[in-house]
Structure formats: C-alpha cells, structure tokens
Amino acid sequence: MKRKSKLIISILGMLLLASCTTAPLTGRKQLKLVSDESVARDSVESYRQFINEASSKNLLANDTADGRRLKEIGGRISRAVEKYMNENGMSKKVNSLNWEFNLIKSNEMNAFAMPGGKIAFFTGIMPVLKTDGGIAFVMGHEIGHVIGGHHAEGKSNRLTAGVVMIGKGVVDVLTGGATEAISNDLIGQGLQIGLLKFNRTQEYEADKYGMIFMAMAGYNPEEAIKVQERMAEKGSGKGSDFLSTHPSSDKRIQALKDFLPEAMKYYRK
C-alpha cells in the first residue's frame, strides 16, 4: 500500500513539475496547468456579460470627463504594454490583446484588468487616484497581473488544490485511513490561504509592471508612490500583513521606492 501511495504522490509531483513556467519580469517559477490564452477566452466572455449588465442598468460612465480621460490614458498605457511585450519575447501574445476600457458608476474604490486587454475602473477610485499618473499606475498594475500570467497561475493553483484533495482521498483508501489524522478541512483552509487569487508575491510583481508601463507611457513613476500613500490614508491596505492578498501599505510603499530607480530607466518625458 505504501508503494502505491508513493507512486501516486510521485505522479502528481511530476505533473506539477512539468507544468512550471517562468514569470517574465522576476524569473520566479510559476505553476501553469492552463494557458494564458485559454484564460483570456473565458475572461472576455465574462467581461462582456459584466459590461452588458452595467449598460442595461445605466452604470457606464464612458461619456463623462473621467470616462474619456480613462480611455486616453488607456491608449497610452496599452501602447507601452505592447512595446514592452514586443521587446521582451512576448510578441506572440500581443495578438490576444483586444483593448477595451470602461468606467463603471460605483462607490467601490477598485479597478481590474482581465486577460484579453479588458479593463474596468469604478468611479469611486478616481478621486483617490486624482492625477493622470495615478490612473496610469493602477491601470499598469492591473494589466501587470495579465502580462505576468497571474490569472492562469491562480486558476492553476485552484486546480492543484483539487488534485491534492483527490490525491489525499486516494491515499486514505490505499492506506486504510492512515492519513485521516490530517484534517481535510485543515488542508483545504491551508490551500485556500496559500493559493489566493492574487497573492502578495503577485501584487509586488504587478506593482513593478505598473511602474514600468506608466514610465514607458510618459508618466513619472514617482506618482505610483504618491498613489499608494493616498490609498493608505483612505484605509486601503491597512491592517495585518498576514492572510492578506495585498502587502501592507508600509511594505508596499517601501517596495515601490526600492524599485523606483529601475522604473526611471523606462521614463519617457
């Protein structure tokens, strides 16, 4: 029985190892059981449903001054992203980006980007971002999750969680319940904590992308630090760094400051 359980664990391990890729910016190892392209196809459909619903409820604010501003900044950032990708061995993925920018009427202080180049900002975040540079950083950050492959990585991690739970169940049977002392609930909670949609490592990577993209688009990356300071004042990012999908404000601001010299190399006034 022990030999069978070891064999199953070894097979699972080999499958996961074979699915590892390298993050473009930092070089860290990523688990990719699904492709960025497949995630993009699914995301575009979800985004379209979201925008159609917002439109039916008269929640689109694209014809406002902020809506036009968002689209203009989006044009500059998207060109910078494509330039960066073409210069860094990702030119094949440029064709999968069909850019779209929408501003949604909501008090929520948030924004997101989905694979396929689909961007949405909520009006609630605009007063905090304040400047064009602030908008450019957050947009670059959200697009950074896409370029960094974080959506596919997150989906792969969730699939892995399921595989691990199935694998444990099989081993329980083969070993006559010898592993039942390890609570399934505890494993599930641990996996949920360790495999969050965007974990702290991914958030730091997205911040770096955000600074690079805004700099390439002609926005001073120093504004990224000011934006995060304003977000901290509003209460975003405060609290414990433990079990959080985002780094604490102090750590995040310091990381932005540390990366600023590198980002300035891309700055085009």
Token couple for 121: 């900002």
Give Cβ neighbours of residue 19 (< 8 Å, ≥ 6 apart): 31, 32, 33, 156
Q: pLDDT confidence of 217, banded at 50, 70, 90?
A: very high
Q: At what angle do helices 65-87 and 132-147 cross, to 10 degrees?
A: 40
Identify the active-site residue in 142, 153, 203, 223. 142
179 vs 119, higher pLDDT: 119
Catalytic residue flag (residue 37): no
Three-point CA angle 89, 94, 97, nearest 5°: 150
φ, ψ (nearest 5 deg) of residue 117: 85, 30
Residue 256: predicted pLDDT: 96
Closest CA relative to residue 205, chosen from 246, 265, 152: 246
- Torsion, Cα 107 113 119 123, to 10 degrees, reads 10
142-172 pLDDT, tens digit per residue, is 999 888 776 666 554 454 444 433 334 433 4
Cβ neighbour number for residue 25 with a 10 Å cutoff: 16
Is it the case that residue 179 has pLDDT exceeding 50? no
Encoded amino acid at 77, one letter: I
Residue 195: predicted pLDDT: 33
Residue 73: predicted pLDDT: 98
Does the pTM exceed 0.75? no
Closest CA relative to residue 263, chosen from 226, 224, 221, 203: 221
> Is residue 69 a contact partner of residue 112, using CB atoms and an 8 Å limit?
no
> Is residue 99 a contact partner of residue 117, using CB atoms and an 8 Å limit?
yes
Q: pLDDT confidence of 108, banded at 50, 70, 90?
A: confident
Residue 26: predicted pLDDT: 60
Cβ neighbour number for residue 75 with a 10 Å cutoff: 13
53-106 pLDDT, tens digit per residue, is 999 999 999 999 999 999 999 999 999 999 999 999 888 888 888 999 999 999
Residue 30: predicted pLDDT: 53
Q: At what angle do helices 200-216 and 222-233 cross, to 10 degrees?
A: 130
Three-point CA angle 248, 253, 257, nearest 5°: 150
Q: Strand 100-104 relative to strand 118-122: parallel, antiparallel, unpaired? A: parallel
28-48 pLDDT, tens digit per residue, is 655 544 455 656 566 778 888
Can you point out the beta strands (E) in the chain?
20-22, 29-31, 100-104, 111-114, 118-122
CA distance 31 to 22: 9
